[in-house]
Amino acid sequence: MALDPDFAAELARELQPADYIAVLKLFREDMLRLVGVIEKAAAANDTVGLRAAAHGLAGAAGSMGAARLEAACQIAMSRHEVIPDLGVAAAEIRKLATAVLADIEHAIARAEAA
């Protein structure tokens, strides 16, 4: 699972269903926007831009229980001096974000159904 189920369950308990769904949807938007920024920065060899976006995404992912995505973002932040790695890091982040996205969609659907 890209999203930690225990973490997601705790978050769901703490929030009203509507709030939970709203937060998931907002995270989805943030995540997709930041992944886009990371990819553009990688393509432009913009280490500073990539690092800033990865930092933001790491925090957001950590807050939603997306631990692997958070870790990938932190690795990307630490490798920014090595230019060939930027593309690799961006691709890894995209792959994990896609997995997180699937889990989010599933969680939203489940919450809305409930």
Partner 1 sequence: MNDTIPVRILVVEDLAAQAELARIFLTGLGYEVRTAGTAGLAYEIALEWQPDGLLLDLELPDYNGLELLKKLREAGNDAVVVVVTATASMELAKQAIRAGAEDYVVKPYNRDRLGVTLRNAIDKRSIDHQRRHLETALVHTQTRLVAAEAKLERKTYAGFIGASAAMRAVYDTLQGVAASKASVFITGENGTGKELAAEALHKMSPRANKQFVPLNCGAIPRDLLESEVFGHVKGAFTGATSDRVGAARLAEGGTLFLDEIGEMPIEMQVKLLRFVQTGTYSPVGSSKLEKGDVRFVCATNRDPLLEVESGRFREDLYYRLYVVPVELPPLRERDEDVLLIARHFLTQFAAEERKRFKGFSPQAEAQLMAYPWPGNVRQLQNVVRNIVVLHDAAQVELEMLPPPVYRPGMRPAPPRVIAPSPPPVAEAAPEAAPPPEIPEPSRPAPMVSQIVARPAVPVVDPQTEILPLAEMERRMVLAALTRCDLDIPRAAAMLQINPSTVYRKVGQWRKEGKLPEGFRI
- In 3D, which of 103, 97, 29, 47 has the Cα closest to residue 68? 97
Q: Annotate each residue in 31-70 with x if it binds partner 1 (CB under 8 A) or - if it does not, as one string.
A: ---------------------x--xx-xxx-xxxx-----
- The span from the CA of 65 to the CA of 58, in Å, is 11
**Binder to partner 1 among 5, 9, 17, 26 (CB under 8 A)?**
26
CB atoms within 10 A of CB 15: 15
Owner of token pair 């996205």: 101
Which residues are at the interface with partner 1 (CB under 8 A)? 7, 10-11, 14-16, 19, 22-24, 26-27, 29-30, 52, 55-56, 58-60, 62-65, 74, 77
